[in-house]
Amino acid sequence: MNCGRHDLDLAWPRVMGIVNVTPDSFSDGGAFTSLDAARAQALRLVAEGAAIIDIGGESTRPGAAAVTVEEELERVIPVVASLAPILDVPISVDTSSPAVMTAAAEAGAGLINDVRALRRPGALAAAAATGLPVCLMHMLDEPATMQQAPAYEDVVGEVSAFLAERMARCLDTGIAHERLLVDPGFGFGKDLSHNLRLLDGLPRLVELGAPLLVGLSRKSMIGALTGRAVQERLAGSVAAAVLAVERGARIVRVHDVGATVEALQVVRALHDHRAAA
């Protein structure tokens, strides 16, 4: 997949490293708000094996308040502009704002990662104009309210139908199919049962024909299953990443890059062994 200045090889699943430049993200809020800290974290994650770095300037944790476009631009664009000339992997920008999409592309970003699937006014046109790949995520409602009794009759089918509709809108707007990725949105308007059904049902989402990006790292479902606090969810997060890859995910978005890369090396070794047998 062409991501601006870089190509992203998805012949084998890849690890996306998270760098949140926010004061209030659920796991690492406030840790990387300075430019130097964000740069250092991105470089560390690439050294650990991240094939793409995802920069986010708006917390989308359950209950999170929206930020202004000006705040998001001030947080994100200097980091992208600083990293683009020195990283040898693509930079993804986690944003729903058309203005941030445009500015990030101009600063050197290679992918747009939108939790709202380009539903904000002007987002479809802005994303199309960048020429960059776009990840479309399913989210029920908005972060401030999405966990207030989410309900589905068939969560996998409904998420699949939503993503198919958003893909069709992208195609109608001039965003080519080969520029699209999809994300089921674990934890975004889903309870534990919904998340487990989605994880088991990932092969149905693969049938949409776009690379599947999955974010399970340190999320509340891992805490619910293990009883661990946010910073103690490494083992559960790595297990979830492996299960997602085995069910068809091509990109796993994680905080703990090194451990996830090593786990996927084991998965790949078994895959290669089976192929050679």
CATH of domain 2-276: 3.20.20.20
Q: Which residues are catalytic?
A: 219, 253
pLDDT per residue over 103-121, tens digit each? 999 999 999 999 999 999 9
DSSP class of 179: G
The Cα 52–Cα 237 span in angstroms is 18
Token digits of residue 264: 């996927």
Q: In this model, does residue 22 exceed pLDDT 90?
A: no
Across 48-62, 106-120, 133-147, 222-236, least confident range: 133-147
Percentage with pLDDT > 70 across the chain? 95
Token digits of residue 272: 């290669």
Helices (H), 111-182: 123-130, 155-173
pLDDT per residue over 220-260, tens digit each? 999 999 999 999 999 999 999 999 999 999 999 999 999 99
E-strand ranges in the chain read 2-3, 6-7, 14-20, 52-56, 91-94, 111-114, 134-137, 180-183, 213-214, 251-254
Domain boundaries, the chain: 2-276
